[in-house]
Amino acid sequence: MKPIPGLSPSYPLLGNALAFPSNGKDFFCRLIEYTDQFRNRPLMKVWIGPVPFIILFHVETIEVVLNNTKHMDKAHAYEFLHPWLGTGLLTSTGDKWRRRRKMLTPTFHFSILTEFLEVMNEQAEVLIRKLEKEAGQGAFNCFNHITLCALDIICETAMGKKIYAQSNYDSEYVRCVYRMSDIITRRQRMPWFWSDFIYNILGEGREHSRSLKVLHSFTEKVISERAEHIANTESDTKGQGTKKRRAFLDMLLNATDENGDKLTYKDIQEEVDTFMFRGHDTTAASMNWALHLIGSHQEVQRKVQQELQDVFGQSDQPISTEDLKRLRYLECVIKEALRLFPSVPFFGRTICEDCHVNGFMVPKGANAVVMPYALHRDPRYFPDPEEFRPERFLPENSEGRPAYAYIPFSAGLRNCIGQRFAIMEEKVVLASILRNFNIEATQKREDLHPLGELILRPQEGIWIKLEKRAC
């Protein structure tokens, strides 16, 4: 890998690890600085400890990796997620990933997603009632309000369980998700803590174990309760033709692979933990970033609210699937927010065979880090990339843009299985808020300080003012 342009100096055993601060905000800022420096270079190499990484943020280099069926394995850093998420859909590789993906894809069929719309509307209504108490009261941090709404939605749709997170502002589960994310990403950046033995003695091993216990206890309890509920419901409703609301967990409990084998209890917990984490934290972050951007651009807000007026008039009816199709400009707003602030700012793959990337030979075993945050700021495809312009995603303005220039949900065979669910949820929640309130952002872009961890989050939350709209 010596010919590949990279950072210097690089030290034995540590590589370039000392060039990066350990805290999330400064680490991410430094990484973005390096991508800006290498914007016109063909490739960028970084050594973290003894592990080499190529950093990819150009369409040409990203497509080579994501479009190749050989480079399907996740990078070395994902091993630190295994104690929490096991080897479910997010972290598994090879045949296990292929079998699991094939088995789970039908659970995200549009007809099933439509059933979840009722849950999304119900929880959005709970959120509106909470936000009404903040309207006219000055600036407040909306981040946790949105997160708890997303958690209620994913709990009921993924596990069929109401947990009333929005009524319990201080959710231990949410706190442990954030803490675990912080612990894992800090360990990923510090090669001297990669050894479990050293980490458990000198690092945050005990806190890691405490958070893990909370997270696993939560999902274990829900799985066992749901399995018991399904068994009782089936016996109670046999022959009555009663239609019950399905959840992902119901489908997991009944799913079989191509050999007719059912998922084990451990298999199910892997997927539930993955759905719970990826299914609420990513959408919550995305909706919060969108609220800041909408509240900072009043002309965009007026256009969204005009579209809502055209679709709903003065009605307060719940949002239907037909309504969602008509909210085209709101979808452009969501996509542009995801361009500027992708929920997953970077992700990694292992190079599984020698390959050539932009003229350089990259050997088998190297790691590739794909950076949507930097990719989405390529001025070739997004002129004035820091400007918030939802019109970029109108059909006539998207023509000719390479498929791999915009990848908020990854791309290729390992793209996000839940992206339609995420867009549907964001449309419902944001439309509900904007039907009821006018939003004013009270932070400037430079005040947000994005934390580039497992999820892209603002360091100090999202602060807005709300004003109740006249009916």
Residue 427: inside a domain: yes
pLDDT value, residue 244 = 63
With a cut of 50, list the residues of the chain below it in pLDDT.
241
Domain count of the chain? 1
pLDDT value, residue 6 = 93
What does residue 270 show for φ and ψ, rounded to 5 degrees? -55, -45
pLDDT value, residue 439 = 98
Residue 21: inside a domain: yes
pLDDT value, residue 208 = 94
User: What are the tens digits of pLDDT across the range 369-390?
Assistant: 999 999 999 999 999 999 999 9
Angle at 33 between CA 29 and CA 35, to 5 degrees: 115
pLDDT value, residue 236 = 60
Residue 10: inside a domain: no
Residue 1: inside a domain: no
29 is in an annotated binding site: no
Pick from 156, 103, 98: nearest CA to 126:
156
pLDDT value, residue 108 = 77
Residue 228: inside a domain: yes
pLDDT value, residue 257 = 66
Residue 201: inside a domain: yes
Residue 12: inside a domain: no
Domain with 306 in it: what CATH number? 1.10.630.10
Residue 461: inside a domain: yes
User: What is the domain range of residue 61?
Assistant: 17-468
